[in-house]
Chain A
Amino acid sequence: MANITGWTGKLLRVNLSTGDIKIEDSMKYNKDLIGGAGLGYKVIFDEVPQGTKAFDEANKVVIAVGPLTGTTAPCSGRTNITSLAPANPYHAVTDSHMGGNFGPWMKFAGYDAIIIEGASKSPVWIKIEDDKVSIEDASGLWGKGVIDTTNEINKIMGKEACIAAIGPAGEKMKNLASIVNTVNHSAGGHGGVLGSKNLKAIGVKGTGAVHIADGKNRDWLDLNKYMLGEIIGANNNHVVPSTPQTWAEYHSAGSRWTAQTALFWGAANPPVETGECPPGDLNKVGLRTQKAIFDLGEVAEERTIKMGGCYSCPIRCQSNLHVPELEKYGLTPYATSTCINFSTPGTAMLNGYSDGENKGEVALITKCLGSRLADDYGVWSNYGQLHRDFRYAYNSGKLKEVLPKEEWDSIDWSLMESGDPGWMLEFYNNLIADGEFSHLLDGPYELDKRWNLGKDYWTGSGNNVWSKMAYPKHHSNEAGAQVGALINTFFNRDCNNHSHMNFIGAGLPIELLKEIAGEVWGSPDALDAPKNYTPMNEYKAKFAKWSIDRNMLHDSITLCNWVWPMTVSPSKSRNYRGDLALEAKFYSLATGIEMSEEELDLQAERITNLHRALTVRDMNTIDMRNEHDTIPEWVFDVDPDMKPFTEGTVKLDRDDMQLALTMLYKEYGWDEKTGAPTRETLERLGLKDIADELDSLNLLP
């Protein structure tokens, strides 16, 4: 390709064992696999041998983005990281994702991807300034939190550089450790892999451009305006406001479109009123999501300085807060986080908050304190499971049993008992210390092996562990019945998939959603009303497959799956229809390669198959149905007095879910007995080399 646009066309390979630094062609991956996760899976498949464990020197870390990163495409600020995952029982491949500035900075420095291989003997960091790349000594940074590490590197590289770093959790090779850039943008699950390589941080800055197709700049701006004006909603693409408003036909109390008259960013100077932000007004999209009050309650309004978020994103889902009470705990009075890190610390307050309020001031202070510690220590909450594991171990008496008496006595439990925010310091400091308590960061699988948590831990409802793959549920059976359940079975970590959830939770009336479902997946029966489920049908299988594939597309192209895809819109004039060809439209204008929605979906399907093939290889079995795609008992056993498919329950049926798996396998053209990809399917998708490799390992059905 003579004139590459969208992508930079280059990738950076850094070997920490040998010190070799190479620049290579990235287009051999991008052409058919888009970039990001697609590129990541291919590199891991080709270069990391079967049987490798996450912390082995042979494991690699692929940090990759796609053709839309750094281009102004809305919500294109996320970075995909692919590697073997230590928290997975088989160390199967996963992606972790971070927002912030890192991915775009990588592109401006000239790279679509960074492949990190080998392991250094002593602590190092990688410095990238355009084509000047070097491995630097990090012995002075080891032991520091993410923020201090970042600042030290900024002193060397300049204040505009973006730094991705690990904290103490990653250094100590904890399974639940994250990689964090720009204060609070954290990627979960691979921090320990960097730690195993003695890699503390990567700093990047660039003076280059990301080009779009020649002569298309006006079209590009117009496409952005069209999307911001007519199509996009608020966070999670909620397309109706949370309160009745003059312009709005519908509203829904659970909507993240919280902007309304007399609701402010109260700590701005002067305060900024969110107001009504109807579709069509491009200059108000960034005010729609007042996320602080959504995450932390009304007490957060007067503490809201503004909404933050990722590079190029008009949605701004992260609240930037002024919380002077944090100074009491030795921190500065500023806090920010993603929603999960604001929500999860509260789960560790087993006795509630001292003022008895769940969304009161003490809760706010506690959550801000907890989230800041988690982000600075590089602790990954495993989508909130970490805190539930603590709760389970404490309440069941297990924790007291396994902790040495001296360690137990050294912990100030009174803070937790009295609902004091200071419990957060105690909780997180003990997590990154070296005692028995810190094994909570092993994740469910290793923790159970060590502490013997018992059957109830795995099967009990409310503890939320999804399957023996040892990750929690994430928009599962309560989100589209079998559709959500199928999506939750597919991945090797919590599924992190919002393709279905953004649509289901958009806030529009169910009749309208069903109508749209009919247009997209062939029948209104693809979607059931909440808690009023019907048995499995092929349209639900299509919906589930589409959701997985779009997620793969977003992680590869790279767009934020917390807002994309645009199944619906807030525009009454469009009868609330979204535009599902938007990814393809942006792709075409960025790369100059004409791409239809169908062609791009096919590329995504190829990436899904690559992920599946890798999982088969990592687990060394084709029996995906029984070994991988398992569903927890609580899905079938909740509401003991109710039958599945009766109004009022999210309960599913065992046989029906086996049928659901069969139907999903059929949609993908996988072996219907095992759920493994067949040679025929892999070859149809241009993955003959993958089929050959699986064949040689006797892993084709």
Chain B
Amino acid sequence: MSLKQVTTPLTDEAVAELRAGDRVLISGYIYAARDAAHKRLYELLQKGEELPFDIEGAVVYYVGPTPPKPGQVIGSAGPTTSGRMDPYTPALIRVGLKGMIGKGLRSQAVKDAMKEHGAVYFAAVGGAGALIAKSIVESEVVAYEDLGAEAIRRLRVENFPVVVVNDRYGGDLYEEGRARYRLAEE
């Protein structure tokens, strides 16, 4: 298990280097987007319209932060369950999305799209929202302000800690990790 550093936007070469189980520190810009925002992005793609941010090499973070206290860049900001974004994700990967940060299982369709187009799924620690917020140094709403906690935000992150769960080669840490530690019934 190695500790790697990556900078966004992600290139194909950077994605190719990442393997399930790698611990990674992400720096650069990532985009906070969750359920309602994904629905809107998907609808734009269906209509063949422009997305409100550059998707090429982009990394999205499934998060709905708490409101910041005065003086805070962002409130608590841990990952939300990724599976709810599964219906919209393959379409985003097809147009250039290279990375996703969340928690929990992905559908086969998402994993297939990741293999085909070269993308990576990272897990951040669910429930560690106060700690994760420390690696977010800037936050700016770039679209859908009306969605409140679900608006799309551009976040500048420094050494944002994640683990690679699904790599572009079909590696799956949820399956491999569980198999490694599973014990037979007594």
Q: Is chain B found bound to chain A in the same assembly? A: no
Which A residues are within 8 Å of any B CB, using their own CB?
none
Which B residues are within 8 Å of any A CB, using their own CB?
none
